[in-house]
């Protein structure tokens, strides 16, 4: 067994070809068949690869496949995406979360439609919403550029190969660069990611099926799942808010949300509960702003987004004569998962007294 990439050590030149060959032979036989992988290595459709890489940044592949096909049906090429209104793009992205990705994708598509696709990782990196990982992935898959990717799966595989408990981003990138197969960079990158996703998994690595088992220091240690050590997670922040349902599950008053997380999406009129404030006070402020009278409490929904947990009280609202509000079809609006949950409450409404 060779310790590939241990601190202070380098890979023995005569052993690196064997490691590359083992992984690529496994990938050729067992790699996942994914729609954006159609075409020759280094010559794939950059648009399809790009959309997939952006969509999968915060979405698992199994869940993302349906979203990907839906998005490509709506916007089959970069010109269609560049010409689409933002609201249509957000609607097609609905359910994927992290909607800033969709807004940046559209902005970048407008640049590409005018200037053409970048031909290198540096060119991709200059586009809105494209970071080092995405630039390396697209350039290696679509252009055959020898750029190594560094994502969670790659980090885990390389950490275990060297039994490195706390791999830094710099360490992982250096190891990825050193091991990259220059003859098949795109296939190598995909092979590492597929290995981490299907075999070298976080909690129960399937070492008996791993093509790199003979090279793996973590496996030799007897406890491969201990590498890398778990990251310290940021505490989840709870945010409370109140929302008004004025209408029904088919047609309701909606407002365009602002802010980085849900900006551009439509949603039920809502107010965040401020520090030291009660939900009732937030509701009174919301009713005063809209000229609406509060009705019964429809229920509560909880939605978690990485480091945030949103607790939303949904209340029936009745417009007063001074209100200037109009309902719109909710099926045509781009809604966050939070608002979809809130609208679902109308189907299970209980005529309880409004108490907050």
Number of domains in the chain: 2
The pLDDT-based confidence of 92 (bands split at 50, 70, 90) is: very high
Query: Is the residue at 231 inside a domain?
Result: no
* 53 included as an active-site residue: yes
Number of helices (H), then strands (E), belonging to the chain: the values are 14, 8
Within its chain, how far is the Cα of 301 from the centroid? 22
**What does the block give as tokens for 36?**
């954006």
Domain boundary among 226, 245, 274: 226
**Residue 350 confidence (pLDDT) above 50:** no
Query: Is the residue at 11 inside a domain?
Result: no
Domain match, 133 and 184 both: yes
The predicted structure's pLDDT at residue 212: 97
pLDDT tens digits, residue range 192-231? 999 999 999 999 999 999 999 999 999 999 999 999 998 8
Domain match, 158 and 260 both: no
Domain match, 139 and 171 both: yes
Domain match, 254 and 126 both: no
Residue-averaged pLDDT of the chain: 90
Domain match, 180 and 309 both: no
Domain match, 172 and 287 both: no
> What is the 8-class DSSP label of residue 208?
G
Q: What is the pTM of this model?
A: 0.81
Domain match, 201 and 248 both: no
Domain match, 244 and 278 both: yes
| 179: containing domain | 16-226
Q: Which of 15, 33, 53, 313 is catalytic?
A: 53
The pLDDT-based confidence of 234 (bands split at 50, 70, 90) is: confident
Percentage of the chain modeled with pLDDT above 70 = 92
Nearest to 11, CA basis, from 25, 24, 1 = 1
Domain match, 36 and 151 both: yes
Query: Is the residue at 7 inside a domain?
Result: no
The predicted structure's pLDDT at residue 67: 94
Q: How far apart are CA 114 and CA 101, in angstroms?
A: 20
The predicted structure's pLDDT at residue 127: 98
Q: How far apart are CA 191 and CA 26, in angstroms?
A: 8
**What does the block give as tokens for 56?**
């999968």
Domain boundary among 196, 226, 256: 226
Query: Is the residue at 8 inside a domain?
Result: no
**What does the block give as tokens for 302?**
């909880």
DSSP line for 123-161: HHHTSTT--HHHHHHHHHHHH--------HHHHHHHHHH
Query: Is the residue at 108 inside a domain?
Result: yes
The pLDDT-based confidence of 349 (bands split at 50, 70, 90) is: low
3-state secondary structure of 356: coil
Query: Is the residue at 2 inside a domain?
Result: no
24 forms beta bridges with none
CATH number at residue 60: 1.10.340.30
3-state secondary structure of 266: strand
> What is the 8-class DSSP label of residue 213?
G
Query: Is the residue at 1 inside a domain?
Result: no
Domain match, 306 and 275 both: yes
∠ at Cα 68 (67, 70), nearest 5°?
65
Query: Is the residue at 356 inside a domain?
Result: no
**What does the block give as tokens for 64?**
């993302």
The dihedral built from the CA positions of residue 146, 150, 151 and 157, taken in this order, carries a sign that is positive
Domain match, 313 and 204 both: no
Longest dimension (CA), the chain: 82
Domain match, 305 and 216 both: no
Question: What distance, in Å, lies between the first and last C-alpha atoms of the chain?
Answer: 63
Residue 70's contacts (CB-CB under 8 Å, 6 or more residues apart) are: 92
The predicted structure's pLDDT at residue 355: 37
Domain boundary among 166, 191, 226: 226
Supply the Cα-derived Rg of the chain in whole angstroms.
Answer: 25
**Residue 276 confidence (pLDDT) above 70:** yes
């Amino acid at each position: 067994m060779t310790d590939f990439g241990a601190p202070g050590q380098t890979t023995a030149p005569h052993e690196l070809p064997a490691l590359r060959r083992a992984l690529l032979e496994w990938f050729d036989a067992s790699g996942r068949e994914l729609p954006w992988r159609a075409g020759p290595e280094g010559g794939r459709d950059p648009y399809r690869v790009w959309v997939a890489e952006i969509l999968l940044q915060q979405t698992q592949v199994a869940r993302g496949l349906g979203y990907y096909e839906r998005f490509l049906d709506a916007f089959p090429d970069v010109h269609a995406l560049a010409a689409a209104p933002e609201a249509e793009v957000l609607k097609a992205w609905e359910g994927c979360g992290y909607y800033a990705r969709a807004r940046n994708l559209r902005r970048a598509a407008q640049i590409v439609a005018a200037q053409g696709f970048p031909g290198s990782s540096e060119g991709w990196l200059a586009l809105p919403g494209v970071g080092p990982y995405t630039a390396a992935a697209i350039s290696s898959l679509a252009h055959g550029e020898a750029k190594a990717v560094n994502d969670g799966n790659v980090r885990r595989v390389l950490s275990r190969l060297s039994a490195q408990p706390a791999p830094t981003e710099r360490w992982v990138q250096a190891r990825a660069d050193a091991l990259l197969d220059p003859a098949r960079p795109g296939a190598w990158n995909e092979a590492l990611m597929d290995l981490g996703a299907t075999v070298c998994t976080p909690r129960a690595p399937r070492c008996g099926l791993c093509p790199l088992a003979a090279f793996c220091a973590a496996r030799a240690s007897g406890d491969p799942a201990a590498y890398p050590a778990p990251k310290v997670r940021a505490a989840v922040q709870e945010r409370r808010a109140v929302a008004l349902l004025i209408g029904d599950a088919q047609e309701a008053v909606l407002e365009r949300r602002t802010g980085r997380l849900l900006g551009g999406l439509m949603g039920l009129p809502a107010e965040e509960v401020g520090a030291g404030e009660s939900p009732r006070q937030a509701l009174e402020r919301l009713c005063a702003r809209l000229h609406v009278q509060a009705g019964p409490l429809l229920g509560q929904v909880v939605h978690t987004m990485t480091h945030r947990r949103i607790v939303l009280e949904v209340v029936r609202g009745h417009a007063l004569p001074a209100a200037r509000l109009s309902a719109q079809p909710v099926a045509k609006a781009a809604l966050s998962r939070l608002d979809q949950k809130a609208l679902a409450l109308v189907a299970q409404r209980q005529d309880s007294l409004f108490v907050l």
